[in-house]
Amino acid sequence: MISLMVFNKRRGPILGRHPWVFSGALKHIPDGLASGTPVKLVDENNHFLAQGYFNSYSQIAVRLWSWDEDEEINEDFFIRRIESANNLRVNYIASKKTDSYRLINSENDLLPGLIVDKYADYLSVQFHTIGMEQWKDQIVSALVKIIKPKGIYERSDAKKLSREKGSGIIVSKTEENNLLHGKMPDKIIILENGLKFYVDIKGGQKTGFFLDQREKREALIKYVKGKNVLNCFSYTGGFSVYALSAGAKKVVSVDVSEPALELARQNVELNGFDLKKCEFIAEDVKRYLQDLGDTKYERYEITKDSESGQFDVIILDPPAFVKDRKKIREGLLGYRRINEQALQILPDNGILVSASCSAHVSLDDFRFMLSESAGHTGRTLQILETYIHGIDHPELVAFMEGEYLKCVFGRVR
Ligand SMILES: C[S@@+](CC[C@H](N)C(=O)[O-])C[C@H]1O[C@@H](n2cnc3c(N)ncnc32)[C@H](O)[C@@H]1O
């Protein structure tokens, strides 16, 4: 295996098991080294540090997947990694009530650049790097052996991969190309905490469903009985269905995506809940909240009498507003705007559930943004619960960059 030398002064994070090595940490990169090539990293004294794969198109030149010098990289390696990841989920998540979870969480399961989500008997797969894509055949073969799925479908982000290649050429694949194993129905039914959801693996957002909010959806249950709930950025109605299961009086789901709202409506029906309690609104959330704040409700009237307020619980689960580290300030303003809008509308004792899935926004940044939003709107916000990822999204302790999700439950006074 090819060895790459790391400057001694840059070896600390590698020893601390951080999975990324930037090109500037390497003394020399041989010409023509292909993406996906397994490499060993050694320090300037030739002492072994770690193993990973080279990724020529990225600033992150090596992604680490082993700190064991003797580990060989072949199909057995992928089998061992997938078995270990699978054991974690089978031991702590899978049950008669939950058959869907993230099976492989990239760097955090020591398979950098690979995401695999399990939806009932099917798998949805994303290759985020050219380097990991090179191992597709071995990975699919290992998944088939261990999980025995009825189908495996690829949902790699073509734009992301082409940006990585630096070519700018987006190769759009056909459904046939994306089917890596077995068959894939247009819509499947999954079980999460005993609730049923339709998932469109082929056409839905990301890999089909936002599995990362499972614990937060479950946590919502205690706050919604007999309440009016506004689910902003609802997608296919995950939080809405949980709210209905817990006896919410009314649930309004707002999202710009009509197909997502259609699936949300079907998900309510699938669980046998009353559609008359629900509204599905295809609109920009900022505009919707603006209209609510401007025209319908005057905050001080609402705070006097919580019954007069339209919503007792507001959920904000937007897409990532900060996609680029250099644009954190702008992105945080986006979060502040919607949080201020929600805080203005909520009555005394109202519950705000506010999430961010921007990896560049830390939990501290997010909390500070919430305190600014509360300050600007003259509300007092008590944090009741704080969440990051669930067990199926484990985090390597050194890998702060991997902590993308944060979610705060707060009470408004
Ligand atoms: C992170 S997902 C929400 C996941 C959802 N909470 C769940 O549990 O499945 C973000 C959603 O925001 C929607 N969206 C993006 N921009 C929007 C906007 N400006 N207004 C309304 N919805 C938007 C997307 O269509 C997507 O469904």
Q: pLDDT digit string (tens) for 81-95?
A: 999 999 999 999 999
271 and 395 together in one domain: yes
Last residue of a domain, one of 155, 188, 221: 188
Q: Is the confidence at residue 150, as pLDDT, over 80?
A: yes
- Pairing outcome for strands 188-192 and 179-182: unpaired
Q: What's the pLDDT score for residue 325?
A: 81
261 and 394 together in one domain: yes
Q: Considering the domain boundaries, does residue 194 fall inside one?
A: no
Helices (H), 67-196: 75-92, 130-133, 136-147, 158-165, 175-178
Q: Considering the domain boundaries, does residue 230 fall inside one?
A: yes
Q: Which residues pair with 40 in a beta bridge?
A: 3, 51
Confidence of residue 175 (pLDDT cuts 50, 70, 90): confident
158 and 16 together in one domain: no
Q: Is the confidence at residue 169, as pLDDT, over 70?
A: no
242 and 391 together in one domain: yes
- H or E stretch at 406: strand 406-412
- H or E stretch at 303: helix 299-304
Give residue 320 CA to ligand 1 midpoint distance, Å. Answer: 9
Confidence of residue 214 (pLDDT cuts 50, 70, 90): very high
Q: What's the pLDDT score for residue 301?
A: 47
Please tell me if the CB atom of residue 285 comes closer than 6 angstroms to any atom of ligand 1.
yes
21 and 114 together in one domain: no
The total number of structural domains in the chain stands at: 3
Please tell me if the CB atom of residue 312 comes closer than 6 angstroms to any atom of ligand 1.
no
Q: What's the pLDDT score for residue 57?
A: 76
CB-CB contact of 236 with 264 (8 Å) = yes
47 and 118 together in one domain: no
Q: What's the pLDDT score for residue 303?
A: 42
Q: pLDDT digit string (tens) for 356-386?
A: 999 999 999 999 999 999 999 999 999 999 9
Give residue 318 CA to ligand 1 midpoint distance, Å. Answer: 5
Please tell me if the CB atom of residue 242 comes closer than 6 angstroms to any atom of ligand 1.
no
- H or E stretch at 22: strand 20-22
Q: What's the pLDDT score for residue 297?
A: 47
CA diameter of the chain: 72
46 and 153 together in one domain: no
State the Cα angle at 291 between 286 and 293, rounded to 5°. 95
- Give percent of the chain above pLDDT 90: 85
* Mutation test residue for ligand 1: of 233, 283, 353, the one with most atoms within 8 Å of CB: 233
Q: What's the pLDDT score for residue 163?
A: 60
Q: Whose CA is nearest to atom 18 of ligand 1?
A: 284
CB-CB contact of 317 with 213 (8 Å) = yes
Residue 361, domain CATH: 3.40.50.150
- H or E stretch at 288: helix 285-291
Q: Is the confidence at residue 15, as pLDDT, over 90?
A: yes
Please tell me if the CB atom of residue 240 comes closer than 6 angstroms to any atom of ligand 1.
no
Q: Considering the domain boundaries, does residue 202 fall inside one?
A: no
394 and 273 together in one domain: yes
CB-CB contact of 379 with 356 (8 Å) = no
Residue 123, domain CATH: 3.30.750.80
Residue 22, domain CATH: 2.30.130.10
Q: Is the confidence at residue 304, as pLDDT, over 50?
A: no
Q: What's the pLDDT score for residue 329?
A: 87
Give residue 255 CA to ligand 1 midpoint distance, Å. Answer: 6
Q: Considering the domain boundaries, does residue 160 fall inside one?
A: yes
Confidence of residue 299 (pLDDT cuts 50, 70, 90): very low
Based on its alpha-carbon atoms, the radius of gyration of the chain, rounded to whole angstroms, reads: 23
360 and 286 together in one domain: yes
Domain residues for the domain of 35 are 2-66
Q: Considering the domain boundaries, does residue 200 fall inside one?
A: no
Q: Is the confidence at residue 253, as pLDDT, over 90?
A: yes
Q: Count CB neighbours of 289 within 10 A.
A: 24
State the Cα angle at 109 between 6 and 144, rounded to 5°. 125
Average pLDDT of span 272-277: 97
283 and 243 together in one domain: yes
CB-CB contact of 313 with 265 (8 Å) = no
- Give percent of the chain above pLDDT 70: 92
Q: pLDDT digit string (tens) for 309-350?
A: 589 999 999 999 988 888 888 899 999 999 999 999 999 999
Q: What's the pLDDT score for residue 307?
A: 43
173 and 220 together in one domain: no
Q: What's the pLDDT score for residue 275?
A: 97
Q: Considering the domain boundaries, does residue 396 fall inside one?
A: yes
Q: Is the confidence at residue 62, as pLDDT, over 90?
A: yes
62 and 101 together in one domain: no
State the DSSP code for 292: I
